[in-house]
């Protein structure tokens, strides 16, 4: 093609591209000059009915380009200016007070709805709206602690997302080594329980015949796994995490497995806080695995106990002391205790007992178990099956729970009963083995055994090492 | 395989199937014995949190199996028993009255929400939930006329569906001759404007190079087109429907077309009444066609005028009479008038004028144009471009509008302006040509010309023909 | 958009389209002026290496546009001018004769390959090449009878297609009511055994829970099912076709079925004659159904016997007469015989016997069974399970086989043994019941019984009716 | 679910699984005991017609499990025992000699076909057949050098694959960051030109807006890219590879690009040697990019010159010496010469001249250019546009070509002409600039300038450094 013709062609094509861009994207003009606040107002007005998609697109772009300061201003605008229409709300209240009929209740419900809810729905007209709104809430959550007056905005987001991300709209997909790389990259990034160290590590969790990973997706945000669970198929219920995720482990054949272990569950979207799907994911994965691997008989977790070490620390010197002897605290303060067999054996019964107390008796202010992971699984209807001493002796595992892990058991036949007991009376369903740990008869003799193994109190080594922590 | 072994295998397989069914579907038991009302209560309770999917599935099955009488009872139950929690609503009102803060407004909004809204969201947990809820509302709408007390339930459905069927969640797909037969079967069934007479007729509307069809789908109901539009690509703006859908017409090449004609738009789901997507569909189709067929310059409809004949009948003998001479009514009462050239020519100016009056001046009670199709397109920002005399001389076309059709023009550059004018002042944007029809100077002479063509009043022929209608 | 700008845009777009067409499709010029023969030569030359796709596209278009006369000339050109290179072949033969080494055998194989084989491979470079070549062979087959000199061209096509349509490249897909309409339209058109009467009839064969349809596709011709089989799931082995395809029949639940009946198998592409996939399709469908419907225990056909009536006619008056009494021929000549219970009962044993003789003993010239459907299933390893008297009393069924149908049994455990027996010794595996029919002890008494029911020989009615056939 | 019931269920399921495995996979028995040779014979026999899929599966498994020694034996078996049927070939030759008709030519072609060709086609009946056969040939190629008697087997593979991997059956797909990880892993592994250092490096070649990657796939081996090309969109024609693949480079917007640079093309399957698709891939990518990025005007490569350094070494002290002065060799022997500006400037004209001689004049034994990359692009119709001094100063680049790279130009309007010139007369189309390099008038003065920069001959440093290379 001669050079001159190429130039002409090139110009033609650029002119066309330009033209189409104008024609398709911004046929109505003027959005570029408006502030986000003015765009929001336009989107809520009659103009928004005609040009909703264009206005929504402009507003999303505007928001995406905002700096931190502008976003803060935007949130306060949402809180202050886009609440319910005051006059209509007053009238609706008056009407209800005069005659509390169903119709008046309905009017009250409508009148009390903040205008920002409709704004959010209209922002969703443009491509990418849902994902941007989820990120918007994530940004809002970061502001919330310092600005409680933004709480109603947050409540509106949560309400909206509970409707949009209803489990009926979510799609479960298997994540494996033939999944798109951009999705897998997010699995690496979002894994919140046991860090994934690069692509080789990831492959080890997805590719072998005895590994599974499942995630929920929303059709409108197909590039984002919302929550995912990693599963190991094992022979017997595992008590330690390290062998499960070791780079050089030997996979077993699918047919040899009798147990499915949920060893990591991660929510990925801060912006969806309070909209729970982990529960549904686990149950659907159980169904899926039953179909796929008919030899499975047990569905358990191998879970961290993230609040244990902090709670234990708070027991030191308290009334708890009676059941938790000072020798235990001293022993745990010795770095490397879990690597010295004698010390380790001596610590075990006392630490298991402490963990049992924590899991069965320690409560948060709302009367639910103190441990967040325990709350999640127990509320799902799982039972506390086993306490795993030295289940996770990684640096993180020792720091947050002195190495203790827990197996929660999902027994399809007991889920509903467990959940009801838990929900109504706060009862924690636990195996006999765990219950027995509570009832340890003579802690005194145990702690004396332990004491013998410790360096003398006040010895330099101990003090220094303790300080070093 | 020997017979005996086959038997054993068969038994094994049946046992397994049975077992899995129990295991997967109804692990918790007892749903089958509960009434729909009890299931709804269970679904809303803590039990619903643990066994939501199973309970929702049971409730959906129950509802699907209900007869008309049971469904009526179910709707009244929803209306009476599943409104807002009365006590909490009272307290929330009191709190707001005492201190009308944003937080109290939020509480009011929550407290005024009927419990059935949460019930609907939970019913959506089970597969097929969304589709069943849409059908449920369709059934409710059929009851509504005779039972106004059900209106709040309907309002809740509409509210919920406005959130779930937000345009951002809809997916536009082209419907063509390689679309799934079950979808196409629904296109045949749902076509509401110009009936499709079987598969050959359908193929004629989808397959030729100068035909298009697009529909919106919701990811959760992939088997149901929610709204669809049929498009003809033409050279020039067509004034008649028959040649456009004739079985033996000659298609033109895509490149010859300069006009896209939306000649049929059908909503398919009664249950989604009030949740509008036709507007968005038309605009997205315009974008799509601009990309695909760069030669297109005009986007118009060829639309029916469904309310015209009825309106005209009401003008007879009224004050309207001055502008609508009795000769017109007499002429239109003659069957076959449109097939007699002289009579037809005489009717034309008067009927066009009447149509212009109807479309530009006749109003519904809310001040909007009387014609529903006009309301739809004008509200979308289209303009009234041309009145097509004898555009549809089918039996249906003559009956509802004496054959008159209308071209509405979607000019991307004018849509917003048109919509705003319409929304704020009720102004109907119309072409100069249409406006001129209103200003007809001397209707008298026209009607005299027409009168000369009519059979003498009371003549046998006229009477007979009239009777024949 | 103002009119003027639209014009400019339109011109721009047309210019661009024009430009790209030239650029992308025909960068090298001149193809349009060349004859098909010259294009073929160019495609085989070095020019073809550089511009193969463009030349192949031009040649395909040229061929598609040819009339019958031109196509005939094209085929003769292929036969005469595009055989092996004569000189090279002579040399290769000489080399082999001098030294019959593996290398010389290889050279012989290459040298004997007609140039048209390479031409066909290069024509396949352009989109749609495979489908066009298949149609080309179909057109060739229509010429072949009158022009045996084209046989080598046909042999080359068959050879090529055997390689390209190797079963390993075919994909089995289920055809159901959600399949694309253009595929379904072809199922209607191609059904060769029991005609499908429009879309409603088709739906009845695809949609019910007790019906299946599977087809093989080639990835390069995704719009064409190459062969398809229709399956009915039944309780017990059916003996009649009519109830199986009746419009108003009652489907049974999948779980109730114990038998899968292949009641229609159709090859769709004349151009693929001699490239057999029906065998593989049936076996893969058996595997698929075993997975999907675990209750199935029997896999059978309900097949026509297309050559039976013609064969029987040829037995009249021959030596066969001894076993096939003249009364049978007379009875069958009576229209409506199958509707008269007595006559029908009398015909049954004699006709069954005749059918058994035909299926077990009548041979084609190559020593294989005379009946083509029997050859197909027996060669696949099926066994002759049952002869179904009055299995198909449609006009076609009576005409081709006096209503007789056959169930062939596909028993996975016996397929290989049956096939080997058949392939090596021509043995037809048949059930004891069928074998017994051959051994009918006293045909004489049967035929006498029949004779009593017939009108007297030479009676007018009989003669007339016979003549009417 | 009580433990006992679980046991029962588990046993049931295992029994069923076992049963189905037998039923579906190995219904005919005995394959496991057969040798590969016996399986091959069975597959070619009538038994193969009935049980082809099962036998093919068994044979593939057998081959996959073979050690090196067994595979060698297998190849020799193919060569010795599975050639053409000797008797039939003799007869066919005799028939042809007696009467060289088209029919006898056809018979000759068929008779000369080795039986292993049919064996390969039948092995393809089982899932995974194609991929295994490609690997089988790769293994064969590794044997070939030491065993020329296997060449006919290799020729048969090549012949078969030329038919199966015809360009018409290949599908071009874009490879990007949302491609499946298992595919991407192979891109990393197979990249043969500029090594990809892990996933981050790969992302840098796929994800940015100014990068593209395309591959050909065969539908039957969807998990294997057969050939892929990496493309950079640039402003102007690049002369150096390093900035193009630098980890920290700044991408440009797609609209800024005027040039598409093919900077790496890799064939991935040894087993497909001789079956060329790179040519087609490049041309289809040109078409694709023209559509996608209308601003592009130039399509070039940035290519290595892999044979240059070795060729240059062979010129030392030869007749070539006159044009390639000894100072050049001495200078290139100095490590780091390209990092010292003066030396570098002095080397440039001499090295460019040497490269021009190599590319334009050096020939392989078959008269084609000596450089394999040059042969590939010139045969595709590209022109030698520019020699890039110091285009690749990586260790590998210096080693194989003293840093020289080349831009080949794909000008759609010239491709056919270039290819014809090249194919018929071996003419290399080169730009005027490259041609001028050949005609360097006074190399003497240049080399004197260079000499002044070199360390004195025999100096220690030089000698040592030279030796160190």
- Among B13, B180, B411, beta carbon nearest to C294: B13
3-state secondary structure of D145: coil
pLDDT per residue as tens digits for the range D105-161: 999 999 999 999 999 999 998 889 999 999 999 999 999 989 999 999 999 999 999
Instruction: Give the mutation candidate from B13, B181, B208, B416 for the C interface (greatest C CB count, under 10 A).
Output: B181
Percent of chain B with pLDDT over 90: 61
Q: What pLDDT does residue B21 have?
A: 40
pLDDT per residue as tens digits for the range B54-68: 889 999 999 999 999
CA-based nearest distance C123→chain B, Å: 27
Last residue of a domain, one of C121, C136, C164: C164
Last residue of a domain, one of B164, B199, B216: B164
Which range (A184-198, B9-23, B39-53) has the least confidence?
Answer: B9-23
Exposed/middle/buried for B213, CB within 10 Å: 0-12, 13-18, 19+? buried
Tell me, yes or no, whether B90 and B9 share the same domain. Answer: yes
Chain D nearest-CA residue for C95:
D93
Judge whether residue D216 has pLDDT over 90: yes
Judge whether residue C155 has pLDDT over 60: yes
Say if D235 is an interface residue toward chain A (CB within 8 Å). no
D49 contact residues in C (CB cutoff 8 A): 279, 379, 419, 423
pLDDT per residue as tens digits for the range C117-147: 999 999 998 889 999 999 999 999 999 989 9
The DSSP element (H or E) to which D445 belongs, if any, is helix D443-453
- Give residue D274's pLDDT band: very low, low, confident or very high (50, 70, 90): confident
Mean pLDDT over C223-244 rounds to: 95
Q: What pLDDT does residue C25 have?
A: 40
Q: With an 8 Å Cβ cutoff, are C83 and D103 in contact?
A: no
Q: With an 8 Å Cβ cutoff, are C152 and D105 in contact?
A: yes
Q: What pLDDT does residue B276 have?
A: 79
Tell me, yes or no, whether C457 and C315 share the same domain. Answer: yes
Say if D432 is an interface residue toward chain A (CB within 8 Å). no
Q: Is D377 a catalytic residue?
A: yes
Q: With an 8 Å Cβ cutoff, are C23 and A1 in contact?
A: yes
CA separation, residue C334 to residues C397, C465, D397 (Å) = 15, 6, 93
Q: What is the mean pLDDT of chain D?
A: 85
Beta-carbon contacts of B304 under 8 Å, excluding residues fewer than 6 positions away, are B193, B373, B392, B397, B400, B401, B405, B406
Q: What is the mean pLDDT of chain C?
A: 85
Q: What pLDDT does residue C193 have?
A: 85
Exposed/middle/buried for B118, CB within 10 Å: 0-12, 13-18, 19+? middle
Q: What pLDDT does residue D319 have?
A: 57
Give the integer Cα–Cα distance in Å for A377 and A304: 12
Q: What pLDDT does residue C276 have?
A: 79
Q: With an 8 Å Cβ cutoff, are D6 and A297 in contact?
A: yes
Tell me, yes or no, whether A11 and A121 share the same domain. Answer: yes
Cβ atoms of residues C150 and C76 within 8 Å? yes
Give the integer Cα–Cα distance in Å for C327 and C104: 66
Helix and strand numbers (H, E) in chain C are: 22, 8
Tell me, yes or no, whether A332 and A418 share the same domain. Answer: yes
Last residue of a domain, one of D269, D301, D333: D301
pLDDT higher at B40 or A438:
B40
CA separation, residue B397 to residues B241, B388, B394, D11, D81 (Å) = 10, 12, 5, 70, 81
Cβ atoms of residues A150 and A79 within 8 Å? yes
Q: Encoding tokens for residue C108?
A: 């012989």
Say if C184 is an interface residue toward chain B (CB within 8 Å). yes
- Among B1, B16, B23, beta carbon nearest to D12: B16
Q: Is C194 a catalytic residue?
A: no
C47 contact residues in D (CB cutoff 8 A): 416, 419-420
Q: What pLDDT does residue D453 have?
A: 66
A180 contact residues in D (CB cutoff 8 A): 177-181
Give the integer Cα–Cα distance in Å for D40 and D34: 10
Query: CATH number, domain at C272?
Result: 3.40.630.180
- Annotate B356-388 with b (16+ C-beta within 10 A) or e (fewer): bbbbbebeeeeebbbbebbbbbbbbbbbbbbbb
Cβ atoms of residues C116 and C78 within 8 Å? yes
Tell me, yes or no, whether C172 and C157 share the same domain. Answer: no
Helix and strand numbers (H, E) in chain D are: 22, 8
Strands B405-409 and B303-304: antiparallel
Q: With an 8 Å Cβ cutoff, are C28 and D416 in contact?
A: yes
Chain C nearest-CA residue for B413:
C1
Percent of chain D with pLDDT over 70: 84
Give the integer Cα–Cα distance in Å for B73 and B37: 10
D180 contact residues in A (CB cutoff 8 A): 177-181
Q: With an 8 Å Cβ cutoff, are A412 and B163 in contact?
A: no
pLDDT higher at B38 or B180:
B180
Chain A nearest-CA residue for B292:
A20
Q: With an 8 Å Cβ cutoff, are D294 and A13 in contact?
A: yes
Chain B nearest-CA residue for C202:
B181
Tell me, yes or no, whether D219 and D332 share the same domain. Answer: no
C155 contact residues in D (CB cutoff 8 A): 106
- Among D1, D13, D23, beta carbon nearest to B16: D13
Q: With an 8 Å Cβ cutoff, are A114 and B112 in contact?
A: no
The DSSP element (H or E) to which D436 belongs, if any, is helix D432-438
The DSSP element (H or E) to which A229 belongs, if any, is strand A227-234
Give the integer Cα–Cα distance in Å for B195 and C196: 25
Tell me, yes or no, whether A158 and A178 share the same domain. Answer: no
- Annotate C275-292 with b (16+ C-beta within 10 A) or e (fewer): bbbbbbbbbbbbbbbbee
The domain total for chain C is 3
Q: Please identify among residues 16-55 of chain A the ones whose CB lies closer than 8 Å to any CB of chain C.
A: 16, 19, 23
Judge whether residue D456 has pLDDT over 80: no
Chains A, D: CB contacts within 8 A come to 69
Residue D460: count of CB within 10 angstroms of its CB: 9
Instruction: Give the mutation candidate from A167, A297, A415 for the B interface (greatest B CB count, under 10 A).
Output: A167
Give the integer Cα–Cα distance in Å for D366 and C243: 73
Give the integer Cα–Cα distance in Å for C394 and C399: 8
A167 contact residues in B (CB cutoff 8 A): 52-53, 124-125
Chain C nearest-CA residue for B3:
C297
Q: Please identify among residues 267-296 of chain D the ones whose CB lies closer than 8 Å to any CB of chain A.
A: 294-295
Give the integer Cα–Cα distance in Å for D403 and D399: 8
Record the pTM. Answer: 0.86
Q: What pLDDT does residue B193 have?
A: 85
Say if D103 is an interface residue toward chain B (CB within 8 Å). no
Query: CATH number, domain at B83?
Result: 1.20.140.90
Say if B125 is an interface residue toward chain A (CB within 8 Å). yes
Q: What pLDDT does residue A454 have?
A: 66
CA separation, residue C426 to residues A376, B423, C180, C366 (Å) = 71, 85, 42, 10
Tell me, yes or no, whether C220 and C152 share the same domain. Answer: no
Cβ atoms of residues A85 and A118 within 8 Å? no
pLDDT per residue as tens digits for the range A400-440: 999 999 999 999 888 888 888 888 888 889 999 999 888 76
- Give residue C419's pLDDT band: very low, low, confident or very high (50, 70, 90): confident
Say if C1 is an interface residue toward chain B (CB within 8 Å). yes
Tell me, yes or no, whether C41 and C153 share the same domain. Answer: yes
Q: Encoding tokens for residue B283?
A: 């605009």
Say if B153 is an interface residue toward chain C (CB within 8 Å). no
3-state secondary structure of D150: helix
Say if C401 is an interface residue toward chain D (CB within 8 Å). no
Judge whether residue A24 has pLDDT over 60: no
Instruction: Give the mutation candidate from D13, D21, D294 for the B interface (greatest B CB count, under 10 A).
Output: D13
Say if B411 is an interface residue toward chain C (CB within 8 Å). yes
Q: How does DSSP classify residue D319?
A: G
In D44-179, the DSSP E strands lie at 171-174
Say if B219 is an interface residue toward chain A (CB within 8 Å). yes
Judge whether residue A468 has pLDDT over 80: no
A19 contact residues in B (CB cutoff 8 A): none
Tell me, yes or no, whether A280 and A374 share the same domain. Answer: no
Cβ atoms of residues D306 and D193 within 8 Å? no
- Give residue A243's pLDDT band: very low, low, confident or very high (50, 70, 90): very high
- Among B50, B93, B294, beta carbon nearest to A381: B50
Q: What pLDDT does residue D427 have?
A: 84
CA-based nearest distance C18→chain A, Å: 11
Say if D426 is an interface residue toward chain C (CB within 8 Å). no
Domain interval for residue D208: 168-301
pLDDT per residue as tens digits for the range B4-36: 444 433 444 444 444 444 443 443 445 567 788
Give the integer Cα–Cα distance in Å for B409 and B416: 13
Q: With an 8 Å Cβ cutoff, are A49 and B166 in contact?
A: no
Instruction: Give the mutation candidate from A95, A106, A299 for the B interface (greatest B CB count, under 10 A).
Output: A106
Q: With an 8 Å Cβ cutoff, are A49 and B103 in contact?
A: no
Percent of chain C with pLDDT over 90: 61
Give the integer Cα–Cα distance in Å for D363 and D360: 8
Tell me, yes or no, whether C333 and C409 share the same domain. Answer: yes
Tell me, yes or no, whether B266 and B384 share the same domain. Answer: no
Q: With an 8 Å Cβ cutoff, are A49 and B423 in contact?
A: yes
The one catalytic residue in B377, B401, B402, B447 is B377
Integer Rg of chain C from CA:
28
Judge whether residue C215 has pLDDT over 90: yes
- Among B17, B177, B411, beta carbon nearest to C294: B17
Chain B nearest-CA residue for C1:
B413
pLDDT per residue as tens digits for the range A168-180: 899 999 999 999 9
Phi, psi of A214 (to 5 degrees): -130, 150
CA-based nearest distance A91→chain B, Å: 12
CA-based nearest distance C209→chain D, Å: 23
- Among B1, B181, B184, beta carbon nearest to C412: B1
Exposed/middle/buried for B266, CB within 10 Å: 0-12, 13-18, 19+? middle
């Amino acid at each position: 093609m001669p050079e001159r013709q190429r130039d002409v062609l090139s110009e033609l094509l650029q002119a066309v591209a330009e033209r189409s861009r104008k024609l398709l994207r911004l046929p109505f003009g003027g959005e570029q000059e408006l502030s986000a606040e003015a765009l929001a107002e336009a989107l809520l007005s009659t103009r928004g009915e005609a040009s909703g998609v264009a206005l929504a697109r402009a507003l999303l772009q505007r928001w995406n380009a905002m700096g931190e300061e502008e976003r803060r201003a935007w949130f306060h605008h949402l809180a202050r200016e886009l609440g319910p229409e005051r006059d209509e709300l007053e009238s609706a209240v008056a009407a209800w007070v005069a005659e509390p009929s169903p119709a008046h209740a309905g009017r009250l419900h409508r009148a009390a709805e903040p205008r920002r809810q409709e704004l959010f729905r209209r922002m969703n007209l443009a491509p990418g709206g849902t994902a941007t709104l989820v990120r918007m809430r994530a940004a809002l959550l970061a502001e919330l602690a310092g600005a409680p007056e933004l709480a109603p905005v947050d409540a509106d987001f949560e309400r909206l997302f509970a409707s949009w991300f209803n489990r009926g709209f979510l799609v479960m997909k298997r994540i494996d080594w033939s999944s798109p790389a951009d999705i897998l990259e997010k699995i690496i990034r979002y894994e919140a329980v046991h860090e994934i160290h690069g692509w080789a590590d990831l492959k080890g969790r997805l590719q072998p015949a005895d590994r599974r990973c499942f995630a929920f997706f929303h059709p409108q945000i197909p590039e984002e796994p919302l929550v995912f669970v990693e599963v190991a198929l094992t022979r017997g219920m595992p008590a330690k995490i390290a062998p499960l995720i070791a780079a050089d482990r030997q996979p077993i054949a699918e047919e040899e497995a009798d147990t499915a272990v949920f060893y990591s569950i991660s929510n990925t979207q801060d912006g969806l806080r309070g909209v729970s799907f982990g529960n549904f994911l686990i149950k659907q994965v159980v169904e899926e695995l039953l179909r796929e691997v008919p030899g499975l008989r047990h569905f358990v977790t191998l879970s961290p106990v993230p609040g244990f070490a902090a709670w234990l620390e708070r027991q030191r010197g308290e009334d708890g002391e009676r059941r938790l002897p000072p020798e235990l605290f001293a022993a745990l303060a010795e770095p490397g205790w879990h690597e010295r067999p004698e010390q380790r054996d001596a610590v075990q019964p006392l630490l298991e007992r402490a963990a049992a107390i924590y899991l069965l008796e320690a409560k948060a202010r709302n009367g639910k178990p103190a441990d967040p992971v325990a709350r999640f699984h127990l509320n799902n209807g799982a039972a506390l099956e086993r306490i795993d001493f030295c289940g996770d002796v990684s640096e993180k595992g020792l720091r947050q729970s002195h190495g203790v892990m827990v197996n929660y058991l999902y027994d399809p036949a007991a889920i509903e009963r467990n959940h009801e007991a838990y929900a109504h009376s706060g009862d924690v369903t636990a195996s006999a083995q765990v219950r027995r740990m509570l009832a340890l008869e003579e802690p005194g003799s145990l702690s004396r055994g332990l004491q013998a193994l410790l360096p003398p109190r006040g010895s330099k080594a101990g003090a220094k090492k303790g300080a070093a922590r």
